[in-house]
Amino acid sequence: MDKEKAKERIRLLREEILKLNYKYFVLDKSNVSESVRDALKRELIELETLYPQFITPDSPTQRVGSVLSGKFAKIRHKTRKWSLADVFSLEELKDWEERVEKAVGQAKYVTELKLDGLNITIWYEKGLLKKAITRGNGVEGEDVTHAIRTIKSVPLKLFQEVTIEVSGEVFMPKKSFASLNKEMAAQGKPPFANPRNSAAGTVRQLDPRVAAERDLQMYFYSLDEGPFDPKTHQEKLETLQNLGLPVNPQYQVHASAENSVAYLEKWQKKRDTLPYEIDGVVFKVNDISQQKTLGFTAKSPRWAVAYKFPAQQTSTILKDITIQIGRTGAATPVAELKPVSVAGSVISRATLHNEDEIRRKDVRIGDTVIIQKAGDVIPEVVEVIQSLRTKDSKPYNFPHSCPLCGEKLIRPEGEAAHRCENLSCPGRKRESFIHFISKGATNIDSLGEKVVDQLIEFGFVKDLADFYTITKENLLELPLFKEKRAQNILDSIEKSRTVAMSRFLYALGIRHVGEQGAKLIVEHLQTLTNESPTPKTLVNLLKKLSVEDLTNIEGVGGIIAKSIYDWIREPKHQDLLEKFDHLGLKLTWPPKKTTTSQASGKTFVISGTHSAPRDQLKTLIESAGGHVSGSVSAKTDFLLAGEDAGSKLEKAKALGIKIINETDLNSLLK
Stretch among 53-67, 201-215, 256-270, 390-404 having the lowest mean pLDDT: 53-67
Q: What CA–CA distance (Å, rounded) separates 121 from 639?
A: 46
CATH number belonging to domain 603-669: 3.40.50.10190
Which of 150-154, 205-209, 274-278, 475-479 shows the lowest mean pLDDT across its residues?
205-209
Q: What's the CATH number for 85-308? A: 3.30.470.30
- Direct distance between the N- and C-terminal alpha carbons of the chain, in angstroms, rounded to an integer: 58
Type and span of the H or E element at 628: strand 627-629
Other beta carbons within 10 Å of 287: 20
Please give the Cα distance from 118 to 152 (Å, whole number).
16
- Give pLDDT, residue 257: 66
Return the H-helix or E-strand segment holding 315. Answer: strand 313-325
Residue 131 CA to residue 4 CA, distance in Å, equals 31
What pLDDT is stored for residue 38 in this prediction? 62
* CATH number 1.10.3720.10 is the correct assignment for the domain at 426-496: no
Q: Residues 264-297: pLDDT tens digits?
A: 988 988 888 899 989 899 999 999 999 999 998 8
- Going from the C-alpha of 141 to that of each of 79, 81, 209, 231, the distances in angstroms are 12, 10, 22, 29
Work out whether the CA dihedral 541, 326, 362, 315 comes out positive or negative.
Answer: positive
Q: Which residues are designated catalytic?
A: 114
pLDDT (tens digit, 9 = 90+) per residue, 354-412? 999 999 999 999 998 888 875 445 788 888 888 788 888 999 999 999 999 999 999 98
Distance separating alpha carbons of residues 159 and 642, to the nearest angstrom: 36
Which strand ranges, in their side-by-side order, compose the sheet holding 278-285?
85-87, 304-308, 278-285, 109-115, 252-254
pLDDT tens-digit series, residues 605-661: 998 878 777 777 887 888 788 888 878 888 899 999 987 777 788 888 888 899 998
The rounded radius of gyration (Å) of the Cα atoms in the chain is 31
Overall pTM > 0.85: no
Nearest to 355 by CA among 411, 316, 425: 411
- Out of 64-78, 256-270, 273-287, 444-458, pick the least confident: 64-78
Q: Exposure pattern of 38-53 as b/e (b: 16+ CB <10 Å)?
A: eebbeebeebbeeeee
Q: Considering the domain 500-588 in this protein, what is its CATH number?
A: 1.10.150.20
CA distance linking residue 567 with residue 500, whole number of Å: 20
- Spatial CB neighbours of 151, under 8 Å, sequence gap ≥ 6: 63, 170, 211, 216, 217, 218
**Main-chain phi, psi angles of 552, to 5 degrees:** -75, -10
Where do the domains of the chain lie?
A: 3-62, 85-308, 319-341+348-410, 426-496, 500-588, 603-669
> Where residue 561 falls among pLDDT bands split at 50, 70, 90?
very high
Q: What pLDDT does residue 17 have?
A: 84
Bridge partners, 129 (sequence order): 124
The dotted CATH code for 3-62 is 1.10.287.610
Tell me whether domains 3-62 and 500-588 share a fold: no
CATH architecture of 319-341+348-410: Beta Barrel (2.40)
Cα→Cα distances 124→57, 114, 121, 384, Å: 12, 24, 10, 43
Nearest to 169 by CA among 123, 223, 107, 115: 115
Distance from C-alpha of 454 to C-alpha of 404, rounded to nearest angstrom: 17
Higher-confidence position of 334 and 387 = 334
Q: Read off the pLDDT band of 234 (50, 70, 90).
A: very high
Average pLDDT over residues 255-271: 83
Quick one: average pLDDT of 307-329? 86
**Strands, E assignment, 468-552:** 498-500
pLDDT of res. 448: 87
Task: Report the DSSP beta bridge partners of residue 283.
Answer: 111, 305
